[in-house]
Chains A and B, each alone.
Chain A
């Protein structure tokens, strides 16, 4: 089955760190750009970061630059998001998503998400 499964979410204090993981299965993970997209409670979707198939390029939304790091391990079919210096506004469901086609930049496969809550 083609799927993405996120894990690693939870409750963390402001200023703390958390590492999210996304396990891919059912497709050739190494052939796709991958992304993280988040959604704060009751709010809309917000793109967080992209990572190229071979890991040579990555891009971030301005609000997480310098605090979040996206990485991937193609041998393990996994995508990661290291989140440091967490703030209350980072509270959200974090989705792992597959980029359907480079140049067109649409997400054709989404995971169920993992909830990150930043609170003291």
Chain B
């Protein structure tokens, strides 16, 4: 079965750029999306189709996907961005999530 791998945690200082990666075999040939989840809340879609932002998601959130790695980039990270982030793709009629990355804004 297809697997997506994320680093368990990433730390960033306020105002700096955070990069969260997601790796999988030939991931660049699939569409990847990203979700933000804060404690006690439902996930929120922040990036879809590799690079698109849903309405209402700040411009500081961006995405890329090439080769075996997809990346969620948060520019000018704010304290409110502290959350768990999950990548997700689709393979052979199944939806696959990465294990999640906890972003800490120090």
Contact = CB atoms under 8 A, between A and B. Distances in A.
Contact of B43 (A35, A45, A50, A104): A45
A47 B43 contact: no
A100 B48 contact: yes
Contacts of B88: 45, 105-107
13 contacts: A37-B95, A44-B86, A44-B98, A45-B43, A47-B96, A95-B43, A100-B48, A105-B31, A106-B31, A106-B33, A107-B33, A108-B45, A110-B44
Contacts of B31: 104-106
Interface residues of B, number: 25
Nearest to B42: A110
A105 B95 contact: yes
A100 B48 CA distance: 9
A50 B95 contact: yes
Interface of A: 35, 37, 44-47, 50, 59, 61-62, 95, 100, 104-108, 110-113
Nearest to A103: B31
B49 interface: yes
B43 A110 contact: yes
Nearest to B34: A106
A44 B1 CA distance: 17
Contacts of A37: 95
Given A46-B97, A100-B48, A111-B42, A105 B54 contact: no
